[in-house]
Structure 1
Amino acid sequence: MHHPEENPWQITSEATIYDNPWINLTEYQVINPSGNPGIYGKVHFKNRAIGVIPLDEDMNTYLVGQYRFVIDQYSWEIPEGGGPLNEDPLEAAKRELLEETGLIAKNWTKILDMHLSNSVSDELSITYVATGLEQFEAEPEDTEQLMVHKVPFDEVYRMVCAGEIMDSVTVAAVLKVKLMLLENTLPV
Protein backbone atom coordinates (compact mmCIF):
# COMPACT_ATOMS: atom_id res chain seq x y z
CA MET A 1 0.00 0.00 0.00
CA HIS A 2 1.43 3.38 -1.00
CA HIS A 3 1.64 6.20 1.54
CA PRO A 4 3.34 9.60 1.55
CA GLU A 5 6.87 9.61 3.00
CA GLU A 6 6.95 13.29 3.98
CA ASN A 7 5.58 14.46 7.33
CA PRO A 8 2.78 17.02 6.65
CA TRP A 9 3.08 18.45 10.19
CA GLN A 10 5.36 21.42 10.85
CA ILE A 11 6.57 22.03 14.40
CA THR A 12 7.03 25.71 15.23
CA SER A 13 7.95 25.22 18.90
CA GLU A 14 7.86 22.64 21.66
CA ALA A 15 7.82 22.69 25.46
CA THR A 16 8.15 19.96 28.06
CA ILE A 17 5.05 20.13 30.24
CA TYR A 18 5.79 17.20 32.54
CA ASP A 19 8.56 14.67 33.04
CA ASN A 20 9.07 11.75 35.44
CA PRO A 21 11.01 8.44 35.28
CA TRP A 22 8.21 6.75 33.25
CA ILE A 23 6.70 9.39 30.93
CA ASN A 24 7.35 12.75 29.34
CA LEU A 25 4.61 15.11 28.12
CA THR A 26 5.52 17.59 25.39
CA GLU A 27 3.26 20.27 23.91
CA TYR A 28 3.97 21.25 20.32
CA GLN A 29 2.90 24.40 18.49
CA VAL A 30 2.28 23.19 14.95
CA ILE A 31 1.11 23.99 11.49
CA ASN A 32 -1.27 21.10 10.79
CA PRO A 33 -1.60 19.29 7.43
CA SER A 34 -4.29 21.74 6.28
CA GLY A 35 -1.91 24.69 6.87
CA ASN A 36 -3.56 26.01 10.04
CA PRO A 37 -1.82 26.68 13.36
CA GLY A 38 -2.61 24.42 16.29
CA ILE A 39 -1.26 22.49 19.24
CA TYR A 40 -0.46 18.84 19.69
CA GLY A 41 0.40 16.98 22.87
CA LYS A 42 2.59 13.88 22.91
CA VAL A 43 3.10 11.44 25.75
CA HIS A 44 6.49 9.75 25.37
CA PHE A 45 6.85 6.47 27.23
CA LYS A 46 10.29 5.66 28.62
CA ASN A 47 9.49 1.93 28.61
CA ARG A 48 7.95 -0.53 26.19
CA ALA A 49 4.78 -2.35 27.20
CA ILE A 50 5.66 -6.03 27.44
CA GLY A 51 3.06 -8.81 27.54
CA VAL A 52 3.29 -12.58 27.88
CA ILE A 53 0.74 -15.32 27.27
CA PRO A 54 2.08 -18.33 29.13
CA LEU A 55 0.58 -21.58 27.82
CA ASP A 56 1.01 -24.91 29.54
CA GLU A 57 0.73 -28.33 27.89
CA ASP A 58 -3.04 -28.43 28.66
CA MET A 59 -3.66 -25.01 27.02
CA ASN A 60 -4.10 -23.21 30.32
CA THR A 61 -2.82 -19.69 30.70
CA TYR A 62 -2.35 -17.36 33.64
CA LEU A 63 -4.21 -14.15 34.34
CA VAL A 64 -2.93 -11.50 36.70
CA GLY A 65 -5.46 -9.38 38.59
CA GLN A 66 -4.67 -6.02 40.07
CA TYR A 67 -6.28 -2.72 40.87
CA ARG A 68 -5.27 -0.20 38.21
CA PHE A 69 -4.82 3.31 39.61
CA VAL A 70 -5.38 5.18 36.33
CA ILE A 71 -8.78 3.64 35.52
CA ASP A 72 -9.78 3.25 39.20
CA GLN A 73 -10.90 -0.35 38.80
CA TYR A 74 -9.76 -3.95 39.05
CA SER A 75 -8.35 -5.48 35.89
CA TRP A 76 -7.57 -9.05 34.76
CA GLU A 77 -4.67 -9.18 32.33
CA ILE A 78 -1.95 -11.40 30.95
CA PRO A 79 1.39 -10.96 32.74
CA GLU A 80 2.66 -7.60 31.56
CA GLY A 81 4.77 -4.65 32.53
CA GLY A 82 7.35 -2.19 31.33
CA GLY A 83 10.68 -2.90 29.71
CA PRO A 84 13.27 -0.13 29.44
CA LEU A 85 13.89 1.01 25.87
CA ASN A 86 17.56 -0.02 26.11
CA GLU A 87 16.71 -3.57 27.31
CA ASP A 88 16.12 -6.57 25.05
CA PRO A 89 12.30 -6.96 25.03
CA LEU A 90 12.59 -10.73 25.46
CA GLU A 91 14.62 -10.27 28.64
CA ALA A 92 11.97 -7.87 29.92
CA ALA A 93 9.28 -10.45 29.11
CA LYS A 94 11.14 -13.17 30.99
CA ARG A 95 11.51 -10.87 34.01
CA GLU A 96 7.83 -9.86 33.99
CA LEU A 97 6.65 -13.47 33.75
CA LEU A 98 8.81 -14.49 36.71
CA GLU A 99 7.92 -11.40 38.77
CA GLU A 100 4.18 -11.71 38.35
CA THR A 101 3.58 -15.47 38.15
CA GLY A 102 6.75 -17.23 39.29
CA LEU A 103 6.93 -18.98 35.92
CA ILE A 104 10.04 -19.60 33.85
CA ALA A 105 9.53 -20.69 30.24
CA LYS A 106 11.83 -22.72 27.99
CA ASN A 107 10.30 -21.53 24.70
CA TRP A 108 9.45 -18.00 23.59
CA THR A 109 7.67 -16.82 20.44
CA LYS A 110 7.16 -13.14 19.64
CA ILE A 111 3.61 -12.77 18.32
CA LEU A 112 2.71 -9.10 18.24
CA ASP A 113 4.09 -5.56 17.98
CA MET A 114 1.60 -2.72 18.25
CA HIS A 115 1.25 0.96 19.07
CA LEU A 116 -1.17 1.34 21.96
CA SER A 117 -2.51 4.85 21.31
CA ASN A 118 -0.71 6.46 18.39
CA SER A 119 -2.86 9.59 18.42
CA VAL A 120 -1.40 10.81 21.73
CA SER A 121 1.52 8.56 22.64
CA ASP A 122 4.47 6.68 21.20
CA GLU A 123 4.00 3.63 23.46
CA LEU A 124 5.02 0.41 21.76
CA SER A 125 3.83 -2.99 22.99
CA ILE A 126 5.58 -6.29 22.31
CA THR A 127 3.88 -9.57 23.23
CA TYR A 128 5.20 -13.12 23.45
CA VAL A 129 3.83 -16.62 23.93
CA ALA A 130 5.80 -18.61 26.50
CA THR A 131 5.69 -22.43 26.68
CA GLY A 132 7.61 -25.16 28.47
CA LEU A 133 6.65 -23.64 31.82
CA GLU A 134 8.22 -24.38 35.19
CA GLN A 135 6.80 -22.96 38.44
CA PHE A 136 8.97 -21.01 40.88
CA GLU A 137 8.19 -18.29 43.45
CA ALA A 138 6.68 -15.03 42.14
CA GLU A 139 8.69 -11.85 42.80
CA PRO A 140 6.19 -8.95 42.49
CA GLU A 141 7.37 -5.35 42.72
CA ASP A 142 6.52 -3.49 45.93
CA THR A 143 3.91 -1.42 44.05
CA GLU A 144 2.02 -4.54 42.96
CA GLN A 145 -0.70 -6.36 44.87
CA LEU A 146 -1.43 -9.21 42.48
CA MET A 147 -3.74 -12.19 42.24
CA VAL A 148 -2.76 -14.92 39.76
CA HIS A 149 -5.17 -17.50 38.37
CA LYS A 150 -4.50 -20.42 36.05
CA VAL A 151 -7.35 -20.41 33.51
CA PRO A 152 -8.07 -22.46 30.36
CA PHE A 153 -7.11 -20.38 27.32
CA ASP A 154 -10.59 -20.85 25.80
CA GLU A 155 -12.12 -19.31 28.93
CA VAL A 156 -9.82 -16.29 28.63
CA TYR A 157 -10.84 -15.98 24.97
CA ARG A 158 -14.50 -16.07 26.04
CA MET A 159 -13.82 -13.37 28.67
CA VAL A 160 -12.20 -11.15 26.02
CA CYS A 161 -15.12 -11.63 23.61
CA ALA A 162 -17.64 -10.92 26.40
CA GLY A 163 -15.89 -7.66 27.35
CA GLU A 164 -14.91 -8.99 30.78
CA ILE A 165 -11.25 -8.31 29.95
CA MET A 166 -10.61 -4.84 28.52
CA ASP A 167 -6.85 -4.37 28.82
CA SER A 168 -5.69 -3.65 25.26
CA VAL A 169 -2.48 -5.70 25.38
CA THR A 170 -4.41 -8.69 26.71
CA VAL A 171 -7.26 -8.35 24.22
CA ALA A 172 -4.95 -8.07 21.20
CA ALA A 173 -2.68 -10.91 22.36
CA VAL A 174 -5.54 -13.30 23.14
CA LEU A 175 -7.18 -12.63 19.77
CA LYS A 176 -3.83 -13.12 18.00
CA VAL A 177 -3.20 -16.44 19.79
CA LYS A 178 -6.74 -17.64 19.01
CA LEU A 179 -6.17 -16.83 15.33
CA MET A 180 -2.81 -18.60 15.37
CA LEU A 181 -4.43 -21.67 16.95
CA LEU A 182 -7.18 -21.69 14.29
CA GLU A 183 -4.55 -21.37 11.54
CA ASN A 184 -2.31 -23.96 13.23
CA THR A 185 0.63 -21.50 13.21
CA LEU A 186 1.29 -21.29 16.96
CA PRO A 187 4.35 -23.29 18.01
CA VAL A 188 3.22 -25.05 21.22
Structure 2
Amino acid sequence: MSPWQTHSSRTAYENPWIRVREDTVTRPDGGEGIYGVVEVRHPAVFVVPVTEDDEVVLVELFRYTTGRTSLEVPSGGSDGQEPLLAARRELQEETGLVADTWQRLGGMDALNGVCHAPEHIFLARGLRPAAAAAGTTAAQDEEGITAVRTVPWPEVMGLVSDGTITDGETLAALLHAGIALGRIG
Protein backbone atom coordinates (compact mmCIF):
# COMPACT_ATOMS: atom_id res chain seq x y z
CA MET A 1 0.00 0.00 0.00
CA SER A 2 1.24 3.46 -0.87
CA PRO A 3 2.16 5.80 1.99
CA TRP A 4 0.62 8.59 -0.15
CA GLN A 5 -3.12 9.25 -0.35
CA THR A 6 -4.53 10.85 -3.48
CA HIS A 7 -7.78 12.76 -2.88
CA SER A 8 -8.34 14.32 -6.30
CA SER A 9 -6.59 14.83 -9.58
CA ARG A 10 -6.93 17.38 -12.36
CA THR A 11 -5.25 17.90 -15.71
CA ALA A 12 -3.34 21.18 -15.68
CA TYR A 13 -2.01 20.88 -19.25
CA GLU A 14 -1.81 18.35 -22.06
CA ASN A 15 -0.60 17.99 -25.62
CA PRO A 16 -0.05 14.97 -27.90
CA TRP A 17 3.19 14.02 -26.05
CA ILE A 18 2.59 14.76 -22.36
CA ARG A 19 -0.04 15.40 -19.75
CA VAL A 20 0.63 17.41 -16.60
CA ARG A 21 -1.64 16.63 -13.70
CA GLU A 22 -1.98 18.07 -10.23
CA ASP A 23 -2.98 15.70 -7.45
CA THR A 24 -4.30 16.80 -4.08
CA VAL A 25 -2.50 14.48 -1.67
CA THR A 26 -1.76 13.55 1.89
CA ARG A 27 2.00 12.98 2.16
CA PRO A 28 3.55 10.11 4.15
CA ASP A 29 4.17 12.57 7.04
CA GLY A 30 0.44 13.39 7.19
CA GLY A 31 0.78 16.83 5.60
CA GLU A 32 -1.58 17.97 2.86
CA GLY A 33 -0.37 19.28 -0.48
CA ILE A 34 -0.34 19.34 -4.25
CA TYR A 35 1.88 16.97 -6.25
CA GLY A 36 2.55 17.74 -9.89
CA VAL A 37 3.16 14.79 -12.23
CA VAL A 38 4.25 14.82 -15.87
CA GLU A 39 2.89 11.77 -17.71
CA VAL A 40 4.57 10.87 -20.98
CA ARG A 41 1.98 9.56 -23.47
CA HIS A 42 4.18 6.81 -24.95
CA PRO A 43 7.26 5.06 -23.53
CA ALA A 44 10.64 6.13 -24.92
CA VAL A 45 13.34 3.93 -26.45
CA PHE A 46 17.12 4.25 -26.12
CA VAL A 47 19.53 2.47 -28.46
CA VAL A 48 23.21 1.79 -27.75
CA PRO A 49 24.60 0.99 -31.23
CA VAL A 50 28.00 -0.76 -31.07
CA THR A 51 30.07 -1.38 -34.20
CA GLU A 52 32.20 -4.45 -34.99
CA ASP A 53 35.22 -2.31 -34.01
CA ASP A 54 33.78 -1.76 -30.50
CA GLU A 55 32.71 1.80 -31.16
CA VAL A 56 29.51 3.42 -29.92
CA VAL A 57 27.46 5.50 -32.35
CA LEU A 58 26.31 8.74 -30.69
CA VAL A 59 24.31 11.71 -31.92
CA GLU A 60 25.03 15.34 -31.18
CA LEU A 61 22.05 17.65 -30.96
CA PHE A 62 20.99 20.94 -29.45
CA ARG A 63 18.56 20.54 -26.56
CA TYR A 64 16.11 23.40 -26.30
CA THR A 65 15.36 22.63 -22.65
CA THR A 66 18.97 23.03 -21.49
CA GLY A 67 20.08 25.57 -24.06
CA ARG A 68 23.15 23.57 -25.10
CA THR A 69 24.44 20.79 -27.29
CA SER A 70 24.19 17.24 -25.94
CA LEU A 71 25.95 14.02 -26.94
CA GLU A 72 23.52 11.10 -26.62
CA VAL A 73 22.62 7.62 -27.74
CA PRO A 74 19.89 7.55 -30.41
CA SER A 75 16.50 7.74 -28.73
CA GLY A 76 12.94 8.90 -29.01
CA GLY A 77 9.32 8.27 -28.26
CA SER A 78 7.73 5.00 -29.25
CA ASP A 79 4.74 6.87 -30.68
CA GLY A 80 2.55 3.89 -29.77
CA GLN A 81 4.75 1.36 -31.59
CA GLU A 82 6.05 -1.81 -29.98
CA PRO A 83 9.38 -0.78 -28.34
CA LEU A 84 11.68 -2.82 -30.61
CA LEU A 85 10.04 -1.42 -33.75
CA ALA A 86 10.38 2.08 -32.34
CA ALA A 87 14.06 1.45 -31.48
CA ARG A 88 14.74 0.29 -35.04
CA ARG A 89 13.00 3.38 -36.41
CA GLU A 90 14.91 5.74 -34.13
CA LEU A 91 18.28 4.18 -34.99
CA GLN A 92 17.62 4.57 -38.71
CA GLU A 93 16.14 8.07 -38.47
CA GLU A 94 18.88 9.47 -36.25
CA THR A 95 21.97 7.69 -37.62
CA GLY A 96 21.07 6.29 -41.03
CA LEU A 97 21.97 2.81 -39.74
CA VAL A 98 20.16 -0.48 -39.32
CA ALA A 99 21.23 -3.38 -37.10
CA ASP A 100 21.19 -7.13 -37.61
CA THR A 101 21.16 -8.02 -33.90
CA TRP A 102 19.01 -6.47 -31.17
CA GLN A 103 19.08 -7.17 -27.45
CA ARG A 104 16.69 -5.64 -24.93
CA LEU A 105 18.81 -4.53 -21.99
CA GLY A 106 16.10 -3.43 -19.59
CA GLY A 107 13.97 -0.50 -18.64
CA MET A 108 14.19 2.66 -16.62
CA ASP A 109 12.00 5.49 -15.38
CA ALA A 110 12.98 9.05 -16.26
CA LEU A 111 12.83 11.67 -13.50
CA ASN A 112 10.57 9.42 -11.42
CA GLY A 113 10.19 12.06 -8.71
CA VAL A 114 8.09 14.20 -11.05
CA CYS A 115 7.37 12.04 -14.11
CA HIS A 116 5.70 8.85 -15.18
CA ALA A 117 7.96 8.16 -18.17
CA PRO A 118 8.79 4.49 -18.80
CA GLU A 119 11.74 3.79 -21.09
CA HIS A 120 13.21 0.76 -22.89
CA ILE A 121 16.92 0.22 -23.61
CA PHE A 122 18.32 -1.80 -26.51
CA LEU A 123 21.78 -2.85 -27.65
CA ALA A 124 22.15 -2.85 -31.45
CA ARG A 125 24.97 -4.78 -33.17
CA GLY A 126 25.76 -5.75 -36.75
CA LEU A 127 25.40 -2.16 -37.90
CA ARG A 128 25.27 -1.18 -41.56
CA PRO A 129 23.97 1.77 -43.56
CA ALA A 130 20.25 1.71 -44.25
CA ALA A 131 19.36 1.21 -47.91
CA ALA A 132 17.84 4.69 -48.12
CA ALA A 133 20.53 6.45 -46.02
CA ALA A 134 22.22 9.27 -47.87
CA GLY A 135 23.40 12.31 -45.94
CA THR A 136 21.17 13.78 -43.29
CA THR A 137 17.56 12.75 -43.02
CA ALA A 138 14.50 14.89 -42.45
CA ALA A 139 14.28 13.37 -38.95
CA GLN A 140 17.84 14.48 -38.18
CA ASP A 141 17.03 17.99 -39.36
CA GLU A 142 13.76 18.08 -37.41
CA GLU A 143 15.44 17.02 -34.17
CA GLY A 144 18.44 19.30 -34.64
CA ILE A 145 20.99 16.49 -34.91
CA THR A 146 24.20 18.20 -36.01
CA ALA A 147 26.52 15.19 -36.06
CA VAL A 148 26.62 11.41 -35.82
CA ARG A 149 29.82 10.35 -34.05
CA THR A 150 31.43 6.94 -33.78
CA VAL A 151 33.50 6.76 -30.59
CA PRO A 152 35.59 3.82 -29.28
CA TRP A 153 34.09 2.33 -26.10
CA PRO A 154 37.02 3.42 -23.84
CA GLU A 155 36.72 6.98 -25.15
CA VAL A 156 32.97 6.94 -24.46
CA MET A 157 33.76 6.17 -20.82
CA GLY A 158 36.18 9.12 -20.88
CA LEU A 159 33.39 11.36 -22.21
CA VAL A 160 31.26 10.22 -19.29
CA SER A 161 33.96 10.84 -16.70
CA ASP A 162 34.98 14.26 -18.06
CA GLY A 163 31.36 15.49 -18.12
CA THR A 164 30.97 15.71 -21.90
CA ILE A 165 28.06 13.23 -21.80
CA THR A 166 25.55 14.65 -19.31
CA ASP A 167 22.20 13.25 -20.47
CA GLY A 168 20.98 11.02 -17.63
CA GLU A 169 19.19 8.55 -19.85
CA THR A 170 22.25 8.18 -22.09
CA LEU A 171 24.37 7.55 -18.99
CA ALA A 172 21.94 4.88 -17.78
CA ALA A 173 21.73 3.25 -21.23
CA LEU A 174 25.54 3.13 -21.45
CA LEU A 175 25.68 1.55 -17.98
CA HIS A 176 23.24 -1.16 -19.07
CA ALA A 177 25.26 -1.75 -22.26
CA GLY A 178 28.54 -1.85 -20.33
CA ILE A 179 27.15 -4.53 -18.03
CA ALA A 180 25.74 -6.56 -20.96
CA LEU A 181 29.06 -6.34 -22.83
CA GLY A 182 31.08 -7.35 -19.76
CA ARG A 183 32.85 -3.99 -19.50
CA ILE A 184 31.29 -2.95 -16.18
CA GLY A 185 30.55 -5.00 -13.11
TM-score (norm 1): 0.88
Other-structure match for 2:137: 139
Give the match's secondary structure for 1:171. helix
Question: Per-residue deviation at 1:162?
Answer: 1.8
SS in 2 for 1:47: coil
Identity of aligned residues (%): 38
Structure 2 distance, partners of 1:19, 1:143, is 22
1:176 is matched with: 176
Structure 2: where are the runs of 5+ without partners?
none
| Range that drifts further, 132-141 or 53-62 | 132-141
From 1, 8, 17, give the equivalent of 2:12: 17
Equivalent position SS for 2:66: coil
Q: How many angstroms does 1:163 deviate by?
A: 1.4
1:27-176 equivalent positions in 2, closer than 5 A: 27-84=22-79, 86-136=80-130, 137=133, 139-141=137-139, 143-146=142-145, 147-176=147-176
Contact 1:100 1:140 in 2 (8 A): no
| Shift of residue 184, structure 1, vs aligned partner | 9.2
Measure the CA separation in 2 of the matches of 1:56 and 1:9.
46
Which amino acid counterpart does residue 82 of structure 2 have in structure 1? Answer: D
* SS of residue matched to 1:143: helix
Aligned residue pairs total 179
Greater displacement, 119-128 / 27-36:
27-36
**Given that residues 107 and 131 in structure 1 are in contact (C-alpha distance below 8 angstroms), is that contact kept between their aligned partners in structure 2?**
yes
| More displaced stretch, 64-73 vs 7-16 | 7-16
